[in-house]
Amino acid sequence: MRATSGKAVLVALALAVTLAVAVWFGAAASQSPFPLVPHPTSNAPMRQALENADYAEHLAALQEIADGNGGNRTAGTSGYSASAEYVEEVLRDAGYAPVRQPFTFGHGRDAERIDSFNVLADTAGDGAHTIVVGAHLDSVRDGPGINDNGSGVAAVLEIARWVAASGGELRNRVRFAFWGAEEDGLEGSKQYVEQLTDDERDQTVLNLNIDMAGSPNGARFVHDGDGSEFGGRPPEGSDQIEKVFRDYFSAVELPVEATAFDGGSDYDAFQDAGIAVGGLFAGDVGMKSATEAEEQGGEAGVAHDPCYHRSCDDVDNVDLDLVAEMAAALGHATMAFAQGTPATQ
Ligand SMILES: [Zn+2]
């Protein structure tokens, strides 16, 4: 946050030195080894359910909320609250007990404070290994945010629904997270990670993120967890997450491309905390490349989402087939880690 006490500055300095030393030695020395081996088998009933789920229902609900609240669902507004109420109702109907995690953030030069919150819902399962599966729930001020990120919200809701309906016991706990104020500087996820106790931080095995799942000229992008295409050194285990996604997409014969961890979504705070990260993205203002168009269809030289952060990001701005493909992949990864077994140290 902006206001830093002397102690916070010292902690920040110590952290900076630690990180610098870790980088100097060419390894993230402070990271503990990734504790899970992902469950290998595919889950055909889940795939079928998620490929055929009604994502349009959620998108229509969020559109209606934006329409009735000044055209957006941005943090600190009635449109955001109504979006949260919708998500909470779906989660409660599925058998979850969602909770709100409040936070406050500053905004702009006049430092006006805005109250917002995340919505969190947990499965049963051993909290010693917690998997956070998240999507941001807020929109920008300039539009209803149906692809960005109603589509990701719809995907996470349907995964949560399937997990509850399947009734199977999970080895590890899944926490479904609907982040607030992503569009205002990733505030919800940032404050979530900041508020974790040391124990909770250690229990948080990984974060799976989905942000923009149905871009109209979209592509299937998997975050580059092994750093093979964009470099960097994603936290240990991020490579395994990328592999789970890639193995899934290759099994269902859908080509993918890698995308960078560029700080553009809610995985960022987890990544900074050394927690394994991964996820899916269908593209925003970036142009579709010739290779993507050849392998995945769509129009080369045109933005993945020409309505990105605009008022036209409405229900007509979403490729529902792409949402279904991405949701099925995210569901697969969720279950692979929810049923993952402890790694032998
Ligand atoms: Zn977004």
Domains of the chain, residue spans: 1-30, 35-342
**Range from 42-56, 75-89, 97-111, 154-168 carrying the lowest mean pLDDT:** 97-111
Reported confidence tier of residue 274, pLDDT bands at 50, 70, 90: very high
pLDDT at position 125: 77
Q: Greatest CA separation found in the chain?
A: 55
Given a cut of 60, whether residue 13 has pLDDT beyond it is no
Mean local confidence (pLDDT), 72-98: 98
Reported confidence tier of residue 289, pLDDT bands at 50, 70, 90: very high
Residues catalogued as catalytic: 182
For the record, the structure tokens of 218 come out as 């979209």
Q: What is the mean pLDDT of the chain?
A: 91
What is the whole-number distance in angstroms between the Cα of residue 300 and the centre of ligand 1? 22
**Kindly report the CA angle at 204 between 212 and 1, in degrees rounded to 5?**
70
Q: Which of 177, 73, 167, 163 is nearest to 119 (CA)?
A: 177
Mean local confidence (pLDDT), 185-208: 97
- In terms of Cβ atoms closer than 10 Å to its own Cβ (0-12, 13-18, 19+), residue 126 is exposed
Sequence length of the chain is 345
**Range from 17-26, 152-161, 228-237 carrying the lowest mean pLDDT:** 17-26
Write down the CATH number for the domain with range 35-342. Answer: 3.40.630.10
pLDDT at position 9: 41
pLDDT at position 110: 65
Given a cut of 70, whether residue 15 has pLDDT beyond it is no
What is the whole-number distance in angstroms between the Cα of residue 310 and the centre of ligand 1? 12
Given a cut of 90, whether residue 126 has pLDDT beyond it is no
pLDDT at position 8: 40
What is the whole-number distance in angstroms between the Cα of residue 264 and the centre of ligand 1? 8
What is the whole-number distance in angstroms between the Cα of residue 183 and the centre of ligand 1? 7
Task: Give the rounded percent of residues in the chain with a pLDDT score beyond 90.
Answer: 84
